[in-house]
Amino acid sequence: MRGRFITLEGGEGVGKSTNRALVVEQIEQAGYRVVATREPGGTPLAEQIRALLLDVREEPMAPQAELLLIFAARAQHLERVIRPALEQGHWVVCDRFTDATYAYQGGGRGMDIATIGLLESLVQDGLQPDLTLYLDVPVAVAQQRISGRPHDRFEREQTAFFERVRASYLQRAGADARFRVVDAEQSLALVQSRIRSILADYLKSCPDDRSA
């Protein structure tokens, strides 16, 4: 039986990496094999594309070039990692996926949503995450959290950009039952307890198809 595809979404500084580890552990404890990965990236080539996307450079990147690079990395990631893992019955836990494209390129950059949808159909051919944890933090709080480290090309954007990204995430989360919104402004202990409870409920809803 096909594995489940779980994504973590949210802006910078919401704790996706820390919480991805928790999600992976809990699913493994339930007896499933898990592939932990991230976007953009997840294969050597896709990570090279990620570097092109994040590097701060003098040459401005055309918004269409950015969007097409993201979907090029995604096509590679889907073909080489995500689809083969799901087909083998493994679960895939991915730090960011296409919801991030709608939030950053659609909401943040104001790119045409229909164009994003068209590339999504082309590359995903109907594949969607089964469960998406959206870690929500007010922009000012997230910016405080990442203030101590060097900023990549996206993190250098202005506050208004991140407000549009967050609004876009919240709007999508409200419109699709696969989303669970986690208030990630709380303490890590409370955030993790909420994630554990979401995962426990989700695992209960899955038929017993462990590969073990």
* Interface residue list for a second copy (CB under 8 A): 43-46, 48-49, 52, 57, 59-62, 64-66, 68-69, 71-73, 75-76, 78-80, 115, 118-119, 122-123
Give the three-state DSSP class for 121.
helix
Instruction: State which residue, 77 or 194, has the beta carbon closest to a second copy.
Output: 77
Q: Is 198 exposed, middle or buried (0-12, 13-18, 19+ CB in 10 A)?
A: middle
Structure tokens at 30: 């339930």
Separation between Cα atoms, residue 103 and residue 14, nearest integer Å: 15
Separation between Cα atoms, residue 151 and residue 51, nearest integer Å: 13
- The label of the residue with tokens 């050597």 reads 44
Q: How many helical (H) and strand (E) elements, i.e. helices and strands, does the chain have?
A: 9, 5
CB of 99 to a second copy, least distance (A): 19
CB of 69 to a second copy, least distance (A): 5
CB of 156 to a second copy, least distance (A): 17
- The label of the residue with tokens 């991230």 reads 38
CB of 78 to a second copy, least distance (A): 8
Interior angle at CA 110, CA 76 and CA 177, nearest 5 = 65
Instruction: State which residue, 76 or 132, has the beta carbon closest to a second copy.
Output: 76
CB of 4 to a second copy, least distance (A): 23
Instruction: State which residue, 60 or 126, has the beta carbon closest to a second copy.
Output: 60
Instruction: State which residue, 57 or 204, has the beta carbon closest to a second copy.
Output: 57
Instruction: State which residue, 45 or 198, has the beta carbon closest to a second copy.
Output: 45
- Report the candidate in 135, 186, 168, 158 with the shortest Cα–Cα distance to residue 20: 135
CB of 96 to a second copy, least distance (A): 18
Instruction: State which residue, 26 or 124, has the beta carbon closest to a second copy.
Output: 124
